[in-house]
């Protein structure tokens, strides 16, 4: 090693490292630029698509400004506040990095949570909606007219989804394609079963009312089982959250009891590194527990 340093010198070593970095970036430039685009414009477009699915209208520029603030602005503001008012620049830097990382990564999970909640609400409304469809068809209404009853009498989100279906049908799209688009927008097994039944029976003929009654029975039993599973999942998540929060709660209690002892943790580099390691391990354990308690049927 000493011979290499003596042969190349400091500038030579820096140049060699720079050449290696340049070569790596050049070889993987396509993947790197694709990753950057996916994390910037890809995230924005993903959020815009999901907001359209949620029937939320917002200017795309506001989404861009919000993502930039969460990724850079929030961390910068935190760094300035902690550094200028508390004179803890190292702690401010750590908090700024953590908040910037969370602001960079959290928008997609939050949007996915809102989408999953809407899909779940749609699924819970399917029993009433299919019962209404069955009664409408028995009363002599056509399938689009029965879907109009759902739009008029059912709450969101199922009324909004069927309203979108009917709007596409009114502008000339075949009804089968409209139902297929509904299955794509709401990708649940119950909805796919409903859409497949409608499309098949419209082609081959059959009693839609009786088919809807059969589907209602299947969905009602599946919802009952899902609610029972949700009870166990909620219990497991509560236990996991308690274990996750316990170290920080104990630390907060100790901070109020012995603030002079705890403040040393935030002032020394070793203490900050230990806090970061504890946070990473705690988040990893919480993620594992979250995956363990999730049950799909």
- Position 43 pLDDT exceeds 60: yes
Residues 251, 255: Cα–Cα separation, whole Å: 6
Residues with Cβ within 8 Å of residue 180, at least 6 apart in sequence: 195, 199
Looking at the chain, how many residues does it have?
297
Residues 268, 149: Cα–Cα separation, whole Å: 66
Express each pLDDT in 261-282 by its tens digit.
Answer: 777 777 778 888 888 888 888 8
Q: Look at 12-16, 77-81, 262-266 and tell me which has the smallest mean pLDDT.
A: 12-16
Mean pLDDT of 58-73: 83
Residues 16, 30: Cα–Cα separation, whole Å: 23
Burial class (CB in 10 A: 0-12, 13-18, 19+), 279: middle
Q: Mean pLDDT of all residues in the chain?
A: 82
Can you say how many angstroms the Cα of residue 35 is from the centroid of all Cα atoms in its chain? Answer: 19
Residues 146, 160: Cα–Cα separation, whole Å: 15
Q: Quick one: pLDDT at residue 266?
A: 76
How many CB atoms lie under 10 A from the CB of residue 253? 10
CA R_g for the chain: 28
Query: What are the tokens at 187?
Result: 């990708």
Q: In this prediction, what percent of the chain has a pLDDT beyond 90?
A: 13
pLDDT grade for 70, boundaries at 50, 70 and 90: confident
- Position 182 pLDDT exceeds 80: yes
How many CB atoms lie under 10 A from the CB of residue 193? 16
- Position 164 pLDDT exceeds 80: yes
Query: What are the tokens at 206?
Result: 């059959």
Express each pLDDT in 191-248 by its tens digit.
Answer: 898 999 888 888 887 788 888 888 888 888 888 888 888 888 888 888 888 888 888 8
Mean pLDDT of 63-85: 83
Q: Quick one: pLDDT at residue 64?
A: 81
Mean pLDDT of 64-69: 83
- Position 2 pLDDT exceeds 70: no
Cα 52 to Cα 24, 60, 168, 276, distances in angstroms:
39, 11, 15, 38
Q: Quick one: pLDDT at residue 161?
A: 92
Q: Quick one: pLDDT at residue 11?
A: 64
Mean pLDDT of 12-37: 66
- Position 83 pLDDT exceeds 70: yes
Q: Quick one: pLDDT at residue 296?
A: 64
Asked whether the bond before 157 is cis by omega within 30 degrees of 0, the reply is yes
Mean pLDDT of 89-95: 81
Q: Quick one: pLDDT at residue 73?
A: 82
Residues 275, 2: Cα–Cα separation, whole Å: 37
């Amino acid at each position: 090693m000493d011979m290499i340093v003596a042969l190349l010198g400091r500038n030579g070593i820096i140049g060699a490292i720079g050449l290696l970095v340049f070569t790596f970036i050049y070889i993987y430039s396509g993947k790197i630029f694709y990753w950057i685009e996916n994390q910037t414009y890809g995230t924005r477009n993903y959020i815009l698509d999901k907001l359209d699915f949620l029937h939320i209208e917002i200017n795309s520029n506001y989404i861009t400004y919000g993502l930039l603030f969460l990724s850079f602005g929030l961390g910068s503001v935190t760094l300035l506040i902690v550094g200028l008012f508390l004179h803890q620049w190292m702690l401010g830097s750590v908090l700024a990095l953590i908040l910037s990382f969370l602001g960079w990564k959290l928008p997609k999970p939050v949007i996915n949570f809102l989408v999953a909640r809407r899909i779940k609400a749609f699924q819970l409304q399917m029993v009433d909606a299919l019962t209404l469809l069955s009664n409408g068809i028995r009363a002599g209404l056509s399938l689009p007219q029965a879907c109009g009853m759902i739009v008029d009498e059912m709450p969101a989100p199922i009324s909004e989804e069927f309203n979108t279906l009917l709007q596409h049908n009114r502008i000339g799209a075949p009804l089968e394609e409209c139902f297929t688009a509904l299955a794509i927008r709401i990708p649940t097994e119950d909805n796919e079963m409903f859409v497949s039944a409608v499309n098949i029976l419209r082609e081959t003929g059959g009693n839609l009312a009786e088919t809807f009654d059969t589907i209602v029975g299947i969905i009602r039993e599946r919802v009952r089982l899902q609610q029972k599973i949700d009870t166990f999942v909620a219990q497991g998540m509560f236990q996991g959250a308690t274990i996750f929060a316990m170290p920080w709660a104990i630390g907060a209690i100790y901070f109020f009891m012995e603030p002079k002892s705890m403040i040393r943790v935030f002032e020394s580099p070793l203490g900050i590194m230990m806090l970061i390691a504890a946070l990473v391990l705690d988040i990893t354990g919480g993620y594992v527990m979250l995956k363990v308690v999730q049950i799909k049927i």
